[in-house]
Chain A
Amino acid sequence: NAGVTQTPKFQVLKTGQSMTLQCAQDMNHEYMSWYRQDPGMGLRLIHYSVGAGITDQGEVPNGYNVSRSTTEDFPLRLLSAAPSQTSVYFCASSWRKNTEAFFGQGTRLTVV
């Protein structure tokens, strides 16, 4: 009954470091996405994927890369961390568009 699994739950990075946030789902969902949540800003879409091998940018994609080599996994890469990327990151998946999204537990990232 795993659903959407995100790792790590917490991370502290130094400015300029790179890292990958992992996201995996076991529900065979087509759609996966990454959001960041900041106080007063709500959840904003970073990148999304409509299936293996297909990704596209959301509203705040700068500084992030994604790939979708399998249906299950959708990692988010921070190329060169900046303090502005301090946030809570959520991965989500859904069966198809316009259906319920299931979220991972989130990754709290601090960039110093």
Chain B
Amino acid sequence: RKEVEQDPGPFNVPEGATVAFNCTYSNSASQSFFWYRQDCRKEPKLLMSVYSSGNEDGRFTAQLNRASQYISLLIRDSKLSDSATYLCVVTNAGGTSYGKLTFGQGTILTVHP
């Protein structure tokens, strides 16, 4: 079983749609959770961190369910500029050393007019 699993999509949605991405992780000791965005042929960039209480940043809402080891990202009122690959990222406990980032394979989103 992969450490971090995402539905690779692709998701094709019209502008203005609401779209949700899901991610599951296998290591119950995982400590930190993130969503990164990667545009075509570019480097990944942090979209938002994910907290147990849930957090919102404009049109983006992230949720974490530690009991189910599940992370979600909701995008409301999709824009053309939201087209990208969304990466679910989990850091392992890593003991006293590096908190290794483990990436999901990414979910491809295409927003069309």
Contacts and interface: CB of A to CB of B under 8 A. Distances in A.
A44 B106 CA distance: 13
- Secondary structure at the B interface, as helix, strand, loop or mixed, is loop
Interface stretch (A62-70, A79-87, A94-102): A94-102
A98 B91 CA distance: 6
A74 interface: no
A33 B91 CA distance: 14
Interface string B81-101: 000000100010010011111
Interface string A28-50: 00010101000011111100101
A105 B44 CA distance: 9
Interface residues of A, number: 24
Contact of B100 (A40, A48, A90, A99): A48
Contacts of A43: 44, 87, 101, 103
Interface in B28-61: 31-32, 34, 41-46, 49
Contact of B99 (A58, A90, A98): A98
Interface of B: 31-32, 34, 41-46, 49, 87, 91, 94, 97-101, 103-106
